[in-house]
């Protein structure tokens, strides 16, 4: 059985509709990382993150309310948290 292509491999993130969604999320959040802001830090955002993953709810893929602007570091932490099934709010600090 052939391996299922990821959204990245399918070119989802380069599509015009995704780029528009990303721009709207980033503009709404003033291009600032929302996770850092919750902790009192001001950090430029580089990533538009789907709060509910596309794999779980593809119907929310272009819903701006399902997105938030994050810096690279915070976005990587969400990937780690999802992979390890950690609850929201738990931060993993690597030594």
Which CA distances in Å does 41 have to 1, 7, 33, 70, 74? 47, 31, 9, 12, 12
Residue 91 is assigned to a structural domain of this protein: no
Residue 34, in any domain of the structure: yes
Residue 29 lies in a domain: yes
Domain assignment of residue 5, yes or no: no
46 located within any domain: yes
In a domain, 78, yes or no: yes
- Tens place of pLDDT for every residue, the chain, 95 residues? 677 777 778 888 889 999 999 999 999 999 999 999 999 999 999 999 999 988 889 899 999 999 999 999 999 988 765 555 556 665 555 44
Report how far residue 81's alpha carbon sits from residue 28's, in angstroms, rounded to the nearest whole number: 25
Per the rule left: phi > 0, alpha: psi between -120 and 50, beta: everything else, 44 is beta
pTM of the model: 0.76
Asked if residue 6 belongs to a domain, the reply is no
As for how many domains the chain has, the answer is 1
- For residue 75, the enclosing domain spans 12-84
Task: Please report whether residue 92 resides in a domain.
Answer: no
């Amino acid at each position: 059985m052939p391996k299922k292509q990821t959204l990245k491999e399918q070119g989802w993130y380069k599509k015009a509709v995704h780029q528009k969604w990303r721009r709207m999320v980033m503009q709404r959040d003033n291009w600032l990382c929302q996770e850092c802001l919750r902790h009192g830090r001001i950090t430029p955002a580089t990533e538009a993150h789907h709060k509910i993953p596309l794999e779980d709810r593809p119907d929310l893929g272009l819903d701006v309310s399902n997105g938030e602007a994050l810096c690279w570091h915070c976005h990587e932490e969400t990937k780690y948290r999802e992979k390890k099934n950690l609850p929201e709010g738990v931060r993993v600090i690597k030594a």
